[in-house]
């Protein structure tokens, strides 16, 4: 069998495979060691007795663009806008947030490609944004000279379209030839158009694919492998590609030959071209669900040669002929070989594919036996080096990994600041160059350039956007209901009285292996701190902060642990005197929106404000709405009686009830969200109104799952959140 190694001139190694978009939005913040006494567990009398209501009179609100549904949303908007945007403090808050979002002193996020730096930039003059580039030398200078490649505002105006930039896919052998991903209003679905970065124009008669949740990559300069909506029977129940086709330039996409078709109940099938030395490797990956994958090498004969790995192992890239794999569960490929869940292993790629069994396996990193780390977060692969970002009690560190002549792995820690988040921003596969970012709640972003064996060098440092001196950050740990130690961060003024009077915003995510790490206070976070608020980030189970088990112990029938962890943090904040139920608010988006709405229904006595953004709420129908079926490995399948039983125990839409004193909820979404259906928020609002509850509902006209098609819209929504919190927790 011939492996499909396409010749490629630059001496490069593969980048990590692109991560799939997850059901999630939101971000977090810093780390100073602290302690907190375990709180007393809640008494049964303080919990609401839930009795699921399985009737659903509001299915008509699931018609995203239905006239009746849009009219209903407009009525709700009018009421909410009057109460929030009508507040005399709103405009000042909105201006503050927009000034931070569009300020010129933000660090342009770099994308390294063969010594050049690409960046997508938005500000008050470029609301939709510009794609631009510069040299690495210019980027590291104080006065960077940018070359504008594409102006999205101008393109949208010329074409009369609501374009939102969603990234690009470039040909490895000629990275100036790219496929641009353009979204209508922020949707996940995109239009694909071929673009030449040299001439800075769309390619005449180039590749174009109509709107869809398309995944694709280059096979060669004139051939793509495409997964998209090809019509009947071409999508999975999750709404993603069920087939991949080989599309040659100048031919009709609809008649392109099919290379694979997966089961309709699978999540989707994907194609990736990754660098491997002086070659490109082409991988086809079937994902049965969110946390499993089956991968094949696409050979020169367009045949699929399976890569021998456990179904839940995650391929993370190729380095020097070694396939790098992150283990989600324990793996014993040989009687005397066992690799722990959470470990990073390497194996001889070509030999393993040829033999049909993993060959020459070696352990790279194992958090279960290394006291200096709890989990592996990300990999960045340059031409000569593997970089690994890791966490220890939610604080980041960066490791440099190289293979010795005896095939052992040499690990050294990169000298970067402590007690914050350290993230890999960009790894240049064409050179031995990496850019990493450090930040904490009160320390703005600093970008470090790491070249070859040299020490990190500061190349960009963001100026403080607010005075950090009046504030402090502490990390606490508290016990959840089952005794598990849950960390959380608190950012607040140094002189707050511990009498329960501090307005406090508590947030978390708790799902899909996503870690919430310290990040510089956002524009809205700064506005909240300036108005006397405290900010709390809880690192609850369901995330990836402590490796695969931290996530897996909160899946399916154990979902209740996510809610118990969050409630434990809320009660600890109250017991410590930092805040009290009258001054405690919670917020979350997407899966985090499910979290805060479910906890509100279970423990309304703990909170006085709840922000639920683009949320999942009707958990007995989520799998039938948009991408919902792709998340059944996380939540369960409501079509299975046992699963329906444990889901119905917490699903907010079925458990919200009349006669209960809930906080005045703030729900927001938008009809351009094609990931989490806006019907979740709409139906919850309608049901709560029917039951006599007061709430705020807001539906932006666009924005997608991220909540804003441009920075001005984002500032509006964030300002409404702050005004809501001030009204409920501080006034």
Instruction: For CA atoms 196, 199, 200, 204, give the dihedral sign.
Output: negative
- Catalytic residue, chosen from 590, 612, 648, 651, is 590
731: tokens are 């006034």
DSSP assignment letter at 328:
S
80: tokens are 């909410």
- Catalytic residue, chosen from 4, 492, 583, 705, is 705
Say if CB 597 and CB 634 are below 8 A apart. Answer: no
b (16+ CB within 10 A) / e for 662-685: bbbbbbbbbbbbbbbbbbbbbbbb
Cα–Cα distances in angstroms (integers) from residue 325 to residues 380, 386, 407, 438, 604, in the given order:
13, 13, 16, 26, 44
Cα–Cα distances in angstroms (integers) from residue 366 to residues 15, 390, 391, 550, in the given order:
21, 11, 12, 15
State the DSSP string of 66-96: -HHHHHHHHHHHHHHHHHHTTSTTHHHHHHH
Q: For residue 636, how far is the Cα from the chain centroid?
A: 21
Q: d(Cα 390, Cα 398) in Å, to the nearest integer?
A: 6
Mark whether 705 is an active-site residue: yes
Q: d(Cα 250, Cα 248) in Å, to the nearest integer?
A: 6
Mark whether 9 is an active-site residue: no
Say if CB 156 and CB 162 are below 8 A apart. Answer: yes
Q: d(Cα 324, Cα 363) in Å, to the nearest integer?
A: 10
Farthest-apart Cα atoms in the chain, separation: 72
Q: d(Cα 1, Cα 357) in Å, to the nearest integer?
A: 15
Say if CB 609 and CB 586 are below 8 A apart. Answer: yes
Q: How many CB atoms lie within 10 A of CB 251?
A: 13
What does R_g of the chain's alpha carbons equal in angstroms?
A: 25
Sheet containing strand 314-319, edge to edge, reads 314-319, 322-326, 344-348, 362-365
Instruction: Count the helices and strands in the chain (H runs, E runs).
Output: 14, 40
Q: For residue 696, how far is the Cα from the chain centroid?
A: 26
Annotated catalytic residues are 590, 705
């Amino acid at each position: 069998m011939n492996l499909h190694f396409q010749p490629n001139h630059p001496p490069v190694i593969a980048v990590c495979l692109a991560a799939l978009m997850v059901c999630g939005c939101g971000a977090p913040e810093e780390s100073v060691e602290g302690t907190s006494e375990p709180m007393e567990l809640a008494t049964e009398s303080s919990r609401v007795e839930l009795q699921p209501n399985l009737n659903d009179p509001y299915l008509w609100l699931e018609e995203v663009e239905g006239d009746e549904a849009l009219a209903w949303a407009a009525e709700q908007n009018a009421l909410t806008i009057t109460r929030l945007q009508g507040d005399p403090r709103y405009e000042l808050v909105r201006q503050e947030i927009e000034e931070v979002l569009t300020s010129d002193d933000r660090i342009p996020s770099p994308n390294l490609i063969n010594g050049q730096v690409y960046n997508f930039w938005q500000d008050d003059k470029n609301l939709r944004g510009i794609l631009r580039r510069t040299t690495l030398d210019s980027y590291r200078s104080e006065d960077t000279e940018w070359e504008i490649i594409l102006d999205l505002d101008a393109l949208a105006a010329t074409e009369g379209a609501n374009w939102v930039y969603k990234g690009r896919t470039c040909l490895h052998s000629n990275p100036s030839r790219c496929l641009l991903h353009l979204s209508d209003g922020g949707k996940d679905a995109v239009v694909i158009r071929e673009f030449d970065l040299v001439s800075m124009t769309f390619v005449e008669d180039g590749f174009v694919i109509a709107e869809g949740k398309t995944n694709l990559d280059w096979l060669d300069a004139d051939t793509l492998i495409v997964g998209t909506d090809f019509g009947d029977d071409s999508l999975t129940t999750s709404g993603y590609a069920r087939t991949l086709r080989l599309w040659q330039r100048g031919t009709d996409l609809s008649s392109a030959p099919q290379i694979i078709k997966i089961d309709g109940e699978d999540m989707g099938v994907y194609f990736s071209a990754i660098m491997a030395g002086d070659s490109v490797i082409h991988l086809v990956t079937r994902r049965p669900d969110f946390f499993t994958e089956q991968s094949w090498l696409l050979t020169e004969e367009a045949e699929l040669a399976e890569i021998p790995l456990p179904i839940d192992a995650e391929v993370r890239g190729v380095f020097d002929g070694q396939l790098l794999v992150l283990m989600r569960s324990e793996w014993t490929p040989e009687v005397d070989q066992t690799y722990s869940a959470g470990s990073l292993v390497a194996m001889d790629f070509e030999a393993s594919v040829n033999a049909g069994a993993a060959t020459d396996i070696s352990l790279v990193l194992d958090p279960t036996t290394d006291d200096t780390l709890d989990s592996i977060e990300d990999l960045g692969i340059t031409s000569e080096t593997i970089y690994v970002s890791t966490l220890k009690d939610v604080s980041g560190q960066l490791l440099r990994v190289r293979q010795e002549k005896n095939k052992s792995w040499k690990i050294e820690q990169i000298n970067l600041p402590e007690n914050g988040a350290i993230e890999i921003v960009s790894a240049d596969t064409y050179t031995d160059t990496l850019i990493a970012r450090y930040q904490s709640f009160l320390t703005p972003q600093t970008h470090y350039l790491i070249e070859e064996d040299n020490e990190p060098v500061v190349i960009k440092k963001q100026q403080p956007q607010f005075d950090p001196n009046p504030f402090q950050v502490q990390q606490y740990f508290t016990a959840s209901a089952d005794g598990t130690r849950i960390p959380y961060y608190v950012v607040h003024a140094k002189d707050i009285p511990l009498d329960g009077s501090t307005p406090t915003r508590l947030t978390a995510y708790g799902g899909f292996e996503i870690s919430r790490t310290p990040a510089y206070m956002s524009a809205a976070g700064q506005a909240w701190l300036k108005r006397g608020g405290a900010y709390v980030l809880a690192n609850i189970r369901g995330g990836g902060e402590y490796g695969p088990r931290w996530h897996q112990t909160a899946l399916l029938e154990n979902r209740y642990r996510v809610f118990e962890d969050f409630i434990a943090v809320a009660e600890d904040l109250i017991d410590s005197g930092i805040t009290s139920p009258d001054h405690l608010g919670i917020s979350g988006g997407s899966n985090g929106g499910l979290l805060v709405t479910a906890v509100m229904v279970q423990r309304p006595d703990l909170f006085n404000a709840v922000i639920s953004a683009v949320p999942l709420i009707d958990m007995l129908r989520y799998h039938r709405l948009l991408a919902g079926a792709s998340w059944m490995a996380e939540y369960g399948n409501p079509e299975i009686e046992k699963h329906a039983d444990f889901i119905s125990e917490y699903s907010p839409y079925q458990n919200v009830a009349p006669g209960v004193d809930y906080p005045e909820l703030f729900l927001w979404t938008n009809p351009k969200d094609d990931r989490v259906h806006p019907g979740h928020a709409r139906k919850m609002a309608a049901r709560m109104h029917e039951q006599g509850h007061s709430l705020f509902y807001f539906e932006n006209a666009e924005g997608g799952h991220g909540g804003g098609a441009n920075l001005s819209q984002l500032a509006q929504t964030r300002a409404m959140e702050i005004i809501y919190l001030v009204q409920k927790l501080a006034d």
